[in-house]
Amino acid sequence: MKCTTLRPTTVITEDGFVLGVQRISSSAAQGDKRQPVFLMHGILSGGDTWLLNSPDQSLGFILADAGYDVWIGNFRTTNFCHGHILYTSKDKEYWDWSFQELAEKDLISMVEYAYKTTNMRLHYIGYSQGTQAALAALSQGMLAERIDKVVMMAPVAYLKHTATPIGILAARLQLDRVFNGLRVFSLNTKTTAGRQYVDILCPAWNDRCFNIWVNSFTGVNCCINASRRAFYDAFETQDTSTKNLRHLAQLYRRGTFAKFDYGADENMRRYGVSFAPDYDLSKVPTGKMLIIHGEKDVLADVDDVSMLKEQLPQGYRSIFIQEYAHIDFIIGYNANTKVYRDILHFLSE
* Count of CB atoms situated within 10 Å of the CB of 348: 11
Residue 24, beta-bridge partner list: 6, 70
Residues 265, 271, 274, 275, CA torsion sign: negative
69 sits in which H/E element: strand 69-72
Residue of 177, 189, 126, 118 whose CA lies nearest to 155: 126
**Which of the 8 DSSP states describes residue 82?**
E
Determine the Cα–Cα distance for residues 226 and 121; give it in Å rounded to an integer: 38
Whether the Cβ atoms of residue 141 and residue 56 lie closer than 8 Å to each other: no
Q: Give the type of residue at 49.
A: T
CA angle 194, 199, 203 (to 5 degrees): 150
In Å, the largest CA–CA distance within the chain is 59
Query: Which are the catalytic amino acids?
Result: 128, 297, 326
Distances (CA, A) of 217 to 5, 162, 176, 220: 34, 10, 16, 9
Helix, strand and coil percent figures for the chain, each rounded to 5: 40, 20, 40
Determine the Cα–Cα distance for residues 229 and 90; give it in Å rounded to an integer: 30
